[in-house]
């Protein structure tokens, strides 16, 4: 039996992180967008079809077609996105309510996270690095972890005064070895799309956004390994996957989950829509449309073993009833 966790932007949202629509609104106010009418128009053109990642994908495709004419706009958008992550990370690290006011350590979110065999995250912020993996980690629990690990990644530690050793403030680069195994008794955290504080060997950012994610991931050994690890984990007999705050908008992630379900994978969803999330995402569910089932709805019907509509502040803060329901995920 194996228990895994997948988190998306809705997870960080519980501490103030931005969802894609909120990131779009932030980018509208950045100097790069304010001072470039064409870039601003490009961003608005994608508001309802991919948001800022759709705009970024468009710019990436244009750059690939003609690097000379497309470079300036792409660099400007990337600079705006970098600014967004810097501001979001500052806010997440400044948050003092990681535990939602819960005084009972056995009920805290950190203790809950130690229950998983691995954490897979699509988030590129440093929430986990600051509050969980580095500063909070509560060893023990069913897995008896002694700490956590970003397999295959090595930190260049900050020299900022009291922050030496901080995972969130360090710059992380891939190790040269192809052995990306986590350390003994360390809980692996796999950042499937890289991170805002990761860089490649040449100093360029190591984070995947925009279009052609599958192709880009395949070209980066550490992320390709993480993708393979995600796939292998979900195919383990008896595997279960809890999903918190992921909106099922990345097709390569959905495909991996779908393959896992063929092997018997079971899902548990924590999202405002609960078990209705797949129906909510069905484009034919709008008034006046002829309702047609989607592959995602079929996935839910086959694999869902529970769901919660409550936010994490309720579940881990004061709602004993919902907390007990969420813990049923681990029952066999």
Query: What is the SS3 assignment for 80-124?
Result: HHHHHHHHHHHHHHHCCCCCCCCCCHHHCHHHHHCCCCEEEECCC
Whole-structure pTM value: 0.93
Instruction: Give pLDDT, residue 92.
Output: 95
69 band by pLDDT with thresholds 50, 70 and 90: confident
Instruction: Give pLDDT, residue 65.
Output: 83
> Residue 266, SS3?
strand
Q: What is the DSSP letter of 145?
A: B
Neighbours of 149 (CB within 10 A): 19
Q: Domain with 128 in it: what CATH number?
A: 3.40.50.1220
Rounded Cα distance, 265 and 234, in Å: 6
Same domain? 85 vs 168: no
Instruction: Give pLDDT, residue 136.
Output: 54
Same domain? 39 vs 178: no
Mean pLDDT across the stretch 68-95?
90
Same domain? 220 vs 283: yes
Q: Which is higher by pLDDT, 211 or 228?
A: 228
Mean pLDDT across the stretch 143-154?
88
Rounded Cα distance, 205 and 207, in Å: 6
Please give the tally of structural domains in the chain. Answer: 2
Listed ranges 95-109, 223-237, 281-295; the one with the highest mean pLDDT: 223-237
Place of tokens 């809950």: 112
Mean pLDDT across the stretch 258-285?
93
Same domain? 70 vs 140: no
Instruction: Give pLDDT, residue 58.
Output: 87
Structure tokens that stand for 222 in this block:
């550490």
Instruction: Give pLDDT, residue 134.
Output: 63
Cβ burial of 61 (10 Å; 0-12, 13-18, 19+) is middle
Q: State the average pLDDT for the chain.
A: 90
Mean pLDDT across the stretch 317-327?
96
The last residue of one of the domains, among 67, 93, 119, is 93
The last residue of one of the domains, among 93, 118, 152, is 93
Same domain? 208 vs 76: no
Residues 6+ apart with CB under 8 A from 273: 279, 280, 309
Same domain? 268 vs 182: yes
Same domain? 145 vs 257: yes
Instruction: Give pLDDT, residue 59.
Output: 87
Domain that holds residue 38: 20-93
Mean pLDDT across the stretch 41-69?
85
Same domain? 32 vs 136: no
Instruction: Give pLDDT, residue 201.
Output: 80
Mean pLDDT across the stretch 8-34?
95
Same domain? 62 vs 142: no
Same domain? 158 vs 230: yes
Instruction: Give pLDDT, residue 267.
Output: 98
Same domain? 47 vs 152: no
Angle at the Cα of 15 (from 52 to 123), degrees rounded to 5? 45
Instruction: Give pLDDT, residue 44.
Output: 95
The last residue of one of the domains, among 63, 93, 123, is 93
Condensed to tens digits (0 to 9), the pLDDT of residues 171-221 reads 999 998 767 888 888 999 999 999 999 998 888 888 888 767 888 888 889
Look at residue 62 and tell me whether its pLDDT is greater than 90: no
Same domain? 254 vs 318: yes
Rounded Cα distance, 229 and 210, in Å: 22
Condensed to tens digits (0 to 9), the pLDDT of residues 290-315 reads 678 899 999 999 999 999 999 999 99
pLDDT more than 90, % of the chain: 65
């Amino acid at each position: 039996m194996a228990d895994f966790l997948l988190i998306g932007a809705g997870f960080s949202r519980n501490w103030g992180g931005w969802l894609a629509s909120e990131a779009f609104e932030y980018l509208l106010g950045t100097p790069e967008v304010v001072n470039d009418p064409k870039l601003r128009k490009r961003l608005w053109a994608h508001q309802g079809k991919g948001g800022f990642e759709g705009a970024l994908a468009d710019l990436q495709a244009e750059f690939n077609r003609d690097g000379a004419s497309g470079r300036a706009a792409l660099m400007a958008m990337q600079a705006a996105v970098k600014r967004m992550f810097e501001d979001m990370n500052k806010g997440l690290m400044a948050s003092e309510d990681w535990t939602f006011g819960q005084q009972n350590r056995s009920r805290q979110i950190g203790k809950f996270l130690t229950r998983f065999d691995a954490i897979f995250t699509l988030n590129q912020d440093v929430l986990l690095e600051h509050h969980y993996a580095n500063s909070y980690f509560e060893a023990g629990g069913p897995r008896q972890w002694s700490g956590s690990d970003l397999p295959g990644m090595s930190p260049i530690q900050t020299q900022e005064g009291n922050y030496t050793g901080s995972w969130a403030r360090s710059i992380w680069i891939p190790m040269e070895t192809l052995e990306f195994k986590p350390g003994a008794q360390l809980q692996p955290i796999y950042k499937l799309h890289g991170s805002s504080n990761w860089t490649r060997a040449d100093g360029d950012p190591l984070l995947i956004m925009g279009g052609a994610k599958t192709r880009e991931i395949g070209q980066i050994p550490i992320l390709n390994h993480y993708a393979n690890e995600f796939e292998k984990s979900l195919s383990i007999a008896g595997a279960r996957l809890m999903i918190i705050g992921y909106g099922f908008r990345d097709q390569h992630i959905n495909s991996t989950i779908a393959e896992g379900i063929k092997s018997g994978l079971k899902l548990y969803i924590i999202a405002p829509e609960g078990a209705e999330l797949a129906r909510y995402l069905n484009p034919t569910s709008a008034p006046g449309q002829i309702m047609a089932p989607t592959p995602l709805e079929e996935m839910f019907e086959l694999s869902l073993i529970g769901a919660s509509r409550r936010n994490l502040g309720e579940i881990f803060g004061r709602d004993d009833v919902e907390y007990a329901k969420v813990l049923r995920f681990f029952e066999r």
